[in-house]
Structure 1
Amino acid sequence: MLHIAICDDQADQIQKIRTAAETYFLTRNERVEYQTFSNAFAFTDVIDRGSIFDIVLLDVCMPGMLGTEVAQHLRDAHSRAEIIFLTTSEEFAVDAFAVKATDYLLKPFTQLQFNKSMERALGFIRQRNSAKVIFRLVGGGVRVEEIAQILFLESHGHVMEVYLAAIHMIKTDYVEIQGHQIPLGKRKYRDFQEQYFQFMFAPK
């Protein structure tokens, strides 16, 4: 699930931004949870309490605290959120770059402009989540695994066992899950494979 925060001091702008986000995700197979904030301090408070967001849609010119200051607060809290600024002013673009913002949109923005920013943000998220590591196999060869799928590592002398968080391999006579081989009954391979793919690719 994607967690998206919208922070803007104007209620009508919050609604416009949320509508743009909902329109973007309308035809995409993503579960999305939104949290909206009309006050910059309310947003930084939830960050300080440990809330984590994947994407932050952030106004710049807000009473009491600029959006760029909010973004710096996020970075100081080690947030890896993709930050998209949405503002009426061009003057903070350099500051936005300094906090590693994903994009900087001027209001009023079009749906197409918004979509491009979201694509950029999701691209970075997918890239980050699909980071890979290469292991050298006992007996020769290598194996590439996504870091996000590694449950834990266990070392036995010079040999390291890697336990995965999900099914990794389906063979005709066994399923490999969390590093273990589970026997698969004869003539069950096709049924199991079909049901597994239905589960994996069903709408979330």
Structure 2
Amino acid sequence: MITIALIDDDDADAEVTASMIDRYFDGDASRYAVTRFADGDSLLRDYKASFDLMFLDVEMPGTDGVTVARRLRVVDDQTVLVFTTKMAQYAVEGYDVDAIGYLLKPLNYYAFAIKMRKAEDIVARRRSVTVPLTVGSETVFVPSADIRYVEVLDHALLYHTGEGIRKVWASLKDAAETLEPVGFVPVSRYCLVNLEWVRAVHGDDVDVDGERVRVSRSRRKSLMQALAAYHGG
């Protein structure tokens, strides 16, 4: 799940942004959570660094969005920032607070989706660890966010990734020590799945990015609990 702060004093504009977020995630509310703030001061009050991404309006009454961002960066240098503005000349001011860009109002969905993909990539990398996978004389370095699941086959491990399957000679125990802290859970004695890629649970199977993976009965309850925690339930 990606946690998003939406800071905008205009109710209609905020509603448009929220609807685009929902469209981007195909209406799947388990994949994101949005918190709306009507002004920057309410965001900064008792702020805790709990958001992956912020859509921050520039022109607001009280403290303007750029000033809010500068104050935010004193306590949080990780949140991905995207400015929204009706005046393009303000956009350049965002780069000294490490914003990934701006969106011009009224928002265009396709420009919005490009920013969302970029933000998701950044968030995923920050949540990842890098896993070195050695096959023969070659070692490749794979971000954990790109690994869908890991399974045992004939005393080897198969890493199912976005680039295909990589077979390495290693133990699942060693893989678990690296991957469990970043959102992987065991679904059997022979398989770890990345919760980020779990799309559904069907009886004794789990859908991991379109592939069916068997879940042992002893692991089903802990899997459901892990999914609920991961998605904020």
Q: What's the TM-score once normalised by structure 1's chain length?
A: 0.68
Tell me how far apart the structure 2 counterparts of residues 168 and 109 of structure 1 sit (CA, whole Å): 40
Instruction: State the superposition RMSD in angstroms.
Output: 3.7
Tell me how far apart the structure 1 counterparts of residues 208 and 11 of structure 2 sit (CA, whole Å): 37
How many percent of aligned residue pairs carry the same amino acid? 23
The one-letter amino acid paired with 2:80 is E
Matches of residues 138-149 of structure 1 in structure 2 within 5 Å? Answer: 144=141, 146=143
Q: Which residue among 185, 205, 208 is the counterpart of 1:201?
A: 208
The answer for the alignment partner of 2:124 in structure 1 is 126
What's the offset of the Cα at 1:64? 1.3
The answer for the alignment partner of 1:15 in structure 2 is 15
The answer for the alignment partner of 2:153 in structure 1 is 171
Check the 8 A contact 1:89/1:106 in 2, yes or no.
Answer: yes
Deviation per CA, 1:124-143: give whole Å up to 9, x if none.
Answer: 2233334526599xxx9968
What's the offset of the Cα at 1:101? 0.7
SS at match of 2:115: helix
The answer for the alignment partner of 1:38 in structure 2 is 38
What's the offset of the Cα at 1:4? 0.5
Tell me how far apart the structure 1 counterparts of residues 144 and 190 of structure 2 sit (CA, whole Å): 24
- Residues 1:98 and 2:93 are matched in the alignment: no
Structure 1: state its 5+ residue gaps. 149-166, 182-190
Structure 2: state its 5+ residue gaps. 158-170, 177-187, 199-204, 211-226, 228-233
Tell me how far apart the structure 2 counterparts of residues 132 and 195 of structure 1 sit (CA, whole Å): 16
The answer for the alignment partner of 2:62 in structure 1 is 64
What's the offset of the Cα at 1:33? 0.7
Check the 8 A contact 1:2/1:30 in 2, yes or no.
Answer: no
Tell me how far apart the structure 2 counterparts of residues 144 and 115 of structure 1 sit (CA, whole Å): 28
Q: What's the TM-score once normalised by structure 2's chain length?
A: 0.60
SS at match of 2:99: coil
What's the offset of the Cα at 1:72? 1.5
Tell me how far apart the structure 1 counterparts of residues 138 and 20 of structure 2 sit (CA, whole Å): 48
The one-letter amino acid paired with 1:126 is A
What's the offset of the Cα at 1:91? 2.6
CA separation of 1:129/1:195 partners in 2, compared to 1, >3 Å: closer, same or farther?
A: closer
Tell me how far apart the structure 2 counterparts of residues 195 and 98 of structure 1 sit (CA, whole Å): 41
The one-letter amino acid paired with 1:55 is L
Tell me how far apart the structure 1 counterparts of residues 71 and 208 of structure 2 sit (CA, whole Å): 37
SS at match of 2:33: strand
Q: Which is worse superposed, 124-133 or 96-105?
A: 124-133
Structure with bigger gyration radius: 1
CA separation of 1:9/1:146 partners in 2, compared to 1, >3 Å: closer, same or farther?
A: same
Corresponding pairs, count = 173
